[in-house]
Amino acid sequence: MSVIPPTPFPAERLAEQVAFDRTELGVILTLYGRMVAAGEWRDYGISCLRDAAIFSIFRRTAEHPIYRIEKRPRLRGRQGLYSVIGMDGQILKRGHELPTVLRVLERKLIRPVD
């Protein structure tokens, strides 16, 4: 009887990464679509790392992100799983529920009428 040594399959590597699930992406992309329609945002990028999932929002493709929406499971018990970070690295909002955290970006969509 021969024993086959274990090999790293892509599914095993994915288990090591943090990612947004379908409902989280739905909430983020709904806001993103509204901001694109308003002409505020133009592009996005998603990074799935070992300790965080990051949704980066760009005004133009060749720039640094103007906002980052981060999911960090290690902070679940402390400050909150989700955070919105500005271009300068300042944390704009942090919390346990994604829609609540994203409200800081929705305020930018509502503009006063002259």
Q: Is residue 25 part of a domain?
A: no
Q: Is residue 13 part of a domain?
A: no
pLDDT band at 16; cut points 50, 70, 90: confident
The predicted structure's pLDDT at residue 75: 82
pLDDT band at 7; cut points 50, 70, 90: low
Q: Is residue 28 part of a domain?
A: no
- pLDDT surpasses 70 at 112: no
Q: Is residue 66 part of a domain?
A: yes
Percent over 70 (pLDDT), the chain = 78
Residue pLDDT, tens place only, 64-109: 899 999 998 888 888 889 999 998 889 999 999 999 999 998 866 5
Return all residues near 62 (Cβ < 8 A) that are at least 6 apart. none
Q: Is residue 62 part of a domain?
A: yes
Reported as type and span, the H/E element at residue 46 is: strand 43-48
Mean of per-residue pLDDT scores for the chain: 82
Q: Angle at Cα 45 formed by Cα 41 and Cα 49, nearest 5°?
A: 145
- pLDDT surpasses 70 at 38: yes
* Number of structural domains found in the chain: 1
Q: Is residue 98 part of a domain?
A: yes
Whole-structure pTM value: 0.77
Q: Is residue 46 part of a domain?
A: yes
The predicted structure's pLDDT at residue 24: 92
Domain containing residue 99: 41-114
